[in-house]
Amino acid sequence: MEKNWPEERVEALVAWLAGMIEAAGAKGAVFGLSGGIDAAVVGALCKKACGDETLGLILPCFSSPGEVEDARFVAEELGLPYRLIDLDDLYLLTAGRLSGEEVNGAEREPFFYNIKPRLRMIALYHWAARLNYLVVGTSNRSERMIGYFTKYGDGGVDLMPLGNLVKSEVRALACCLGVPERIINKPPSAGLWEGQTDEGELGLTYEDLDRYLLTGEGRPEVIERLREMEEKTAHKRRMPPLPEA
């Protein structure tokens, strides 16, 4: 990575965001503010591109109090306008009505926990429509490559500024943008259940993933697993196929 790479990439991403929002006839940007490094970097970029026409939505859904605290901390440290909307009751109603059984928010089956990011997507697009903003996603290249996102959940966005950056590159941008060290050094988590971490759920490290994406190298068993994940989740990265006319 070149010495001036983070500063140059920040400048390019800010210009890209501003240009895309202007081209869409929108006024600003709304994003999910989770308290993690990716959301913090996206928030800082949106603030530079849109100023006060930026909104971070803190959307706890049976999330740990620490996640909400970190999200507020990021907003205050970076000067981000934000709104807190608790989704607990909405999750219980939606998941309970859909399944026809009692739920408590701690469910770990994908067909349950994927409801949470999809409810967040609804909230983001509600506020985007109210304010004439675009929804800016927080997924990075590492997550996109293996499909580590919820289809029509955190994958349902208008713009994805980190989509070409691996996790290590996101960390470099975070340092450049003044993201607090406590957020940079925090174990990445989607906040799907108490104590959940990305690396624990995936069974591999971002270091392994980034190395493969940047160099094509890695331990044979890691490369095999990543290729399987990439193939299995290919449908998440493309538009729904159409039959031939």
**Catalytic positions, please?**
38, 143
Task: List phi, psi (to 5°) of 88.
Answer: -55, -55
- Give the three-class secondary structure for 91: helix
Q: In angstroms, how far is the first alpha carbon of the chain from the final one?
A: 47
User: Considering Cα of 121, then 56, then 139, then 89, what sign does the dihedral take?
Assistant: negative
Query: Which two tokens mark 212?
Result: 């493969």
The Cα 81–Cα 169 span in angstroms is 25
* Residues pairing with 57 in the sheet: 32, 83
